[in-house]
């Protein structure tokens, strides 16, 4: 049966105290609204309508894509008024319309599907939640106040009597309704209430009056229905989401030192016997092979790490886009290493502390263990690249490559001025500035002459 999805995202979100529209605030690397849209992907709706208002241009630009259409609500006169604006975008009368909120990001597909199925184009289905403190929520008023009594109405907190405020069952803001009836009902809403708004929730009493079945379905848990109105709530949902991801990985056999100090903002896939220490952040698409160990406080974005590799503490890897940084098997990286986009490291490569690698290929067994820079370089097998050595790859306008053959030994504090090529097995003496190609097997030393300056004395501290 035809399904429409309408996502309300016009509200202001004053309590975020931010210039960014509320629904564009990020949770685990994706905007709140993006979470909802991603969830709807599996529901196969014939259309997804997003109602925008505050910050509409920014919101629409952020989530525009195939199958998403926008309706503007200006000004915002309530949730019922929001749905009135969507009516022209819902031409058919048969089928179901599912209403979601752009600021309730963790609703699961199974829950949304349950609402749609229970509605079946005929019933009005409300997603409800039992709360110890339902302050602020619309209350689900049931026949004779019985938990299994028929739903009679939703009464908004501000309009509720003292007795109604004792009801613990609240409306989550999500419902599924028969499309034709929904359109008719919202056309009849009035704003004679405590807030002077058009309440979508008033359609419940209309359905009851018409004899349309109204069902309240309880949400499986609180996390799925919590909205974001403030930084406190955003941080709370972030931790809930992260803990859920961590627990899924633990159950799959990934050994996390502490599931509460672990963040994935994207997708992390792990082989067998992977261990991850505390305070690591994974962003974009990250793939860890079997037996990978990640030390504490690493940030790894868009990278794949081969089997048995150890990433020591405080390493920063950023491939920029999926697959943008690659490390082979059995490599040792860090502590305090930095791999940037285009870093492509072979098996058994060693990258030590304060070494930066960008847009460079290092073949099997190459080592740069301390304080070095490799940019736009092709480094052969077993090369040993000394402390303090750099590739001078940028002339101020263009970047140039440095090619270092297999088994080359680059001493400490060398500057390789690109473009330059160093033949296999060559040795570059410490402190050299290399501007010309070096032949295979050659020893090349290019240092200034040591000068003694007469008559100079360094002031000595008095003892
Ligand atoms: C609404 C429900 C309340 C429910 C609560 C759950 C109504 C009248 N009340 O109340 O029963 O318990 O959600 O959180 O529906 N929005 C628009 N345009 C508007 C007003 C709101 O798009 O003119 C959007 C908001 O951006 C938000 C959603 O609708 O995504 C809910 O709006 P909000 O103002 O938070 O509703 P509540 O008063 O909390
Ligand atoms: Ca709300």
- Interval 260-310: pLDDT, tens: 999 999 999 999 999 999 999 999 999 999 999 999 999 999 999 999 999
Which pLDDT value is given to residue 459? 83
Among the listed residues 130, 157, 316, 370, the single catalytic one is 370
Mean of all residue pLDDT scores within the chain: 97
Is pLDDT of 326 > 90?
A: yes
Nearest CA to ligand 1 atom 1: 173
Instruction: Give the contacts of 133 (CB within 8 A, at least 6 positions apart).
Output: none
Is pLDDT of 1 > 80?
A: no
**Half-sphere exposure (Cβ direction) of 5: Cα atoms closer than 13 Å:** 27
Is pLDDT of 76 > 80?
A: yes
Is pLDDT of 351 > 90?
A: yes
- Rounded mean pLDDT, 425-451: 96
| Cα–Cα dist 426/420, whole Å | 13
Run of H or E including 84: helix 79-86
Token match 């996502």: residue? Answer: 7
> What pLDDT band is residue 460 in, cutting at 50, 70 and 90?
confident
Residue 298 three-state SS: coil
Q: Which residues line ligand 1 (CB under 6 A)?
A: 8-11, 51, 53, 73, 76-79, 81-82, 101-103, 137-138, 154, 156, 170-173, 199-201, 227
Which pLDDT value is given to residue 373? 98
pLDDT, tens digit, 9 for 90 and up, residues 187-234? 999 999 999 999 999 999 999 999 999 999 999 999 999 999 999 999
| Cα–Cα dist 391/356, whole Å | 11
pLDDT, tens digit, 9 for 90 and up, residues 243-264? 999 999 999 999 999 999 999 9
Ligand closest to 156 (CA) is: 1
| Cα–Cα dist 159/194, whole Å | 6
Helices (H) and strands (E) in the chain, counts: 7, 36
Bridge partner residues of 154 (DSSP):
140
Identify the CA nearest to 212 among candidates 114, 321, 127, 122.
Answer: 122
130 given a catalytic annotation: no
- Rounded mean pLDDT, 330-345: 98
Which pLDDT value is given to residue 458? 84
Residue 219 three-state SS: coil
Rounded percentage of the chain residues whose pLDDT exceeds 70? 100
Taking a C-beta distance cutoff of 8 angstroms, is the pair 385, 367 a contact? yes
CA 401 to chain centre: 34
Which pLDDT value is given to residue 456? 86
> What pLDDT band is residue 463 in, cutting at 50, 70 and 90?
confident
- Rounded mean pLDDT, 78-107: 98
Residue 38 three-state SS: helix
| Cα–Cα dist 73/249, whole Å | 41
445 CA distance to ligand 1 middle (Å): 73
Which pLDDT value is given to residue 133? 96
Q: Which atom of ligand 1 is the closest one to the Cα of 171?
A: 12
- Rounded mean pLDDT, 94-111: 98
| Token pair listed for 28 | 């685990």
Which pLDDT value is given to residue 15? 94
Which pLDDT value is given to residue 462? 84
Terminal CA-CA length for the chain? 93
**Measuring CA to CA, how many Å separate 192 from each of 38, 269, 311?**
37, 53, 63
**Measuring CA to CA, how many Å separate 212 from each of 152, 203, 227?**
11, 11, 29
pLDDT, tens digit, 9 for 90 and up, residues 357-388? 999 999 999 999 999 999 999 999 999 999 99
| Cα–Cα dist 343/20, whole Å | 34
Which pLDDT value is given to residue 461? 86
Mutate to test the pocket of ligand 1, among 9, 11, 204, 230 (most ligand atoms within 8 A of CB): 11
| Token pair listed for 427 | 């040795």
103 CA distance to ligand 1 middle (Å): 10
- Rounded mean pLDDT, 310-315: 98
pLDDT, tens digit, 9 for 90 and up, residues 21-71? 999 999 999 999 999 999 999 999 999 999 999 999 999 999 999 999 999
Taking a C-beta distance cutoff of 8 angstroms, is the pair 62, 33 a contact? yes
């Amino acid at each position: 049966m035809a399904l429409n999805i309408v996502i309300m995202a016009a509200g202001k979100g004053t309590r975020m105290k931010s210039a960014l529209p509320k629904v564009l605030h990020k949770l685990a690397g994706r905007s709140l609204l993006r979470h909802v849209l991603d969830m709807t992907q599996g529901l196969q709706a014939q259309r997804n309508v997003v109602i925008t208002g505050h910050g509409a241009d920014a919101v629409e630009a952020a989530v525009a894509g195939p199958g998403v259409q926008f309706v503007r609500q200006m000004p915002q006169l309530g949730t019922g008024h929001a749905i009135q604006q969507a009516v022209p975008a819902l031409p058919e009368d048969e089928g179901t319309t599912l209403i979601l909120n752009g600021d309730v990001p963790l609703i699961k597909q199974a829950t949304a599907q349950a609402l749609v199925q229970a509605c079946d184009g005929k019933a009005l289905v409300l997603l409800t939640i039992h709360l110890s403190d339902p302050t602020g929520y619309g209350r689900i008023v049931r026949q004779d106040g019985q938990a299994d009594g028929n739903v009679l109405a939703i009464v908004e907190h501000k309009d509720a009597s003292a007795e109604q405020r004792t009801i613990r069952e609240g409306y989550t803001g999500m419902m599924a309704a028969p499309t034709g009836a929904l359109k008719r009902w919202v056309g009849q809403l009035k704003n004679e209430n405590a807030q002077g708004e058009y309440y979508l929730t008033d359609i419940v009493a209309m359905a009851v009056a018409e004899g349309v079945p109204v069902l309240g379905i309880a949400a499986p848990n609180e996390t799925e229905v919590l909205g974001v109105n403030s930084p406190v709530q955003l941080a709370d949902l972030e931790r809930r989401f992260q803990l859920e991801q961590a627990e899924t990985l633990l159950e799959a056999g990934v050994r996390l030192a502490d599931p509460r100090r672990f963040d994935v903002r994207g997708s992390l896939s792990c082989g067998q016997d992977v261990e991850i220490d505390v305070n690591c952040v994974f962003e974009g698409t990250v793939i860890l092979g079997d037996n990978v160990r990640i030390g504490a406080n690493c940030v790894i974005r868009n990278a794949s790490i081969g089997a048995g590799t150890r990433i020591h503490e405080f390493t920063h890897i950023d491939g920029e886009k999926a697959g943008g940084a690659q490390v082979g098997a059995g490599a040792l990286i860090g502590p305090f290493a930095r791999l940037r986009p285009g870093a492509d490291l072979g098996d058994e490569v060693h990258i030590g502390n304060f070494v930066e690698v960008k847009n460079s290929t290092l073949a099997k067994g190459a080592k740069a263990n301390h304080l070095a820079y490799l940019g736009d370089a092709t480094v052969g097998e077993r090369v040993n690249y000394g402390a303090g050595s750099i590739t001078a790859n940028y002339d101020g306008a263009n970047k140039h490559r440095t090619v270092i053959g297999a088994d080359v030994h680059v001493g400490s504090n060398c500057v390789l001025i690109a473009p330059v090529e160093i033949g296999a097995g060559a040795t570059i003496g410490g402190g050299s500035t290399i501007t010309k190609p070096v032949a295979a097997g050659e020893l090349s030393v290019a240092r200034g002459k040591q000068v003694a300056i007469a008559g100079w004395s360094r002031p000595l501290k008095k003892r």
